[in-house]
Each structure stands twice: as C-alpha cells, then as structure tokens.
Amino acid sequence: MKFFIDTANLEQIRQAQEMGILDGVTTNPSLMAKENVKGKEAVMAHYKAICNLVDGPVSAEVFATDFEGMIKEGQELAQIDPKITVKVPCTRDGIRAIKYLSGKGIATNCTLVFSVGQALLAAKAGATFVSPFIGRLDDISEDGISLVEHIVRIYRTYGYKTQVLAASIRHTNHIIRCLDAGADVATCPLKAIEGLLNHPLTDKGLAIFIQDAAKMK
Ligand code: G3P
C-alpha cells in the first residue's frame, strides 16, 4: 500500500519525505487555506514547491464547480509539474471533467466520495484515483472502512484500473484497517504515519540493549 501525506504544509511534507516512506501528497482547498497562500500565482507556486519535495503524485484540487471551469483549471494545474494529479469533486460536472481530463492524459483524483455508486462513476470516467472519505463517514456513525472494502471488491470484480486512495484518515488504526481492506493508497496526517512507528516494547527493549551494550565498553 502506498503512503501519501494529506497536507499542504511544506515542513510536514519534508519530515515525512525524510522518513523514506512517502509515496505522494494530497491537498485540498481547506488544507491549502491553512498555509495562508493567497492569489493564483502563489497557489501555483506552492503546488510547485510541494512537487519539488517529493517523488510521487501530488493532488491539487480545482476550485471551480462547473465543467468549463474545472477543465480550464485542471489543464492549468497539470502544467505546473508532471507529478500533479488534478483533484475533482464527485459531482455531475466533476465526472464529466474527469472524463475529459483523463482523455487528455491528465491524472485525476475523484474526491469527496462517500458511496460505491460514486466510486463506480469515477472509475467509468477513467479517474486515476478515487478518494473515499473514511473519517467523515465515521463521524456520522457510518463505517468508512467498509466503503473502502466494497469499492476494492467492485473494482477487482470488474477490472477497473482506478486506484482506491483512502482519505479523511484520522488515526493510525485507520491505516491498519485500510491495509486489510486492500486500499491501494492511504493519505494520512503525519501523526497517523508516525503512530505506526511507536511501540512501548521497542522503547523498553532498546533501553535494555543500551544498558547491556554499556557493560561491554
Ligand atoms: O484528502 C481529504 C482529507 O483531507 C479530508 O480529511 O479530516 O477533512 O475529513 P478531513
């Protein structure tokens, strides 16, 4: 399973990249707004700065909600860097735009997906990635992981090439459950990725090794 970090914060992306396990980045308008990036040029420059930090795909979301606006912005975003994946919300115009952009050879990520039906349309439109939002489903007492499992099963049954990019991940256990569900990618906050590393028995065992190593000096 690939690991993407879900942030537009350059320092967090650097830290994740230095861990040596990062495969890409996802952003969205809310994550970009947190970085106080203002104006089209600054937004484009920020996406380029992210692309310069990583080796894998970088999802940059269109702000437009109409078909014409989405394809205009999507083609502009794709010009920033070959790593750019154009993120498009799963709406009627969004599916049309994904079909159009995919036809131009532009990588796309269908986002704000909350049902198998939406995931099916994203795959039929040729989306590179589909982003089911696990955490937001859990927030309303639904089961986000079961949606991931269902999408994976449907895609495998019908041979869709769209990659399942589990998003809206809240914690480390979501990552583990995404592994079981067969997600192709999990896009995570840095804290959730770091949580994979930490175990008290590792710390305890290392402390004893250090003590015993000191006896041999
Ligand atoms: O990539 C989508 C993700 O950023 C949404 O996460 O926590 O706002 O549901 P969240």
**pLDDT tens sequence across 135-175:** 999 999 999 999 999 999 999 999 999 999 999 999 999 99
Which residue's CA lies nearest to atom 1 of ligand 1?
167
Amino acid 71: pLDDT = 98
pLDDT of residue 75: 98
Q: Of 30, 108, 113, 26, whose CA–CA distance to 71 is shortest?
A: 108
Pocket mutation for ligand 1, best pick of 6, 137, 187 (most atoms within 8 Å of C-beta): 6
pTM here?
0.95
Q: Which of 87, 99, 104, 124 is catalytic?
A: 87
Q: What percent of the chain has pLDDT over 90?
A: 100
Check if the beta carbon of residue 92 is closer than 8 Å to that of residue 58.
Answer: no
For residue 139, give the ligand 1 atom closest to its CA: 9
Mutate to test the pocket of ligand 1, among 27, 50, 136 (most ligand atoms within 8 A of CB): 136
User: What are the two backbone dihedrals, phi and then psi, of residue 158, each rounded to the nearest 5 degrees?
Assistant: -105, 0
Q: Which helix (H) or strand (E) holds 130?
A: strand 129-132
pLDDT at 35: 97
- Tens-digit pLDDT profile for residues 102-136: 999 999 999 999 999 999 999 999 999 999 999 99
CA dihedral 32, 146, 185, 65 (to 10 degrees): -40
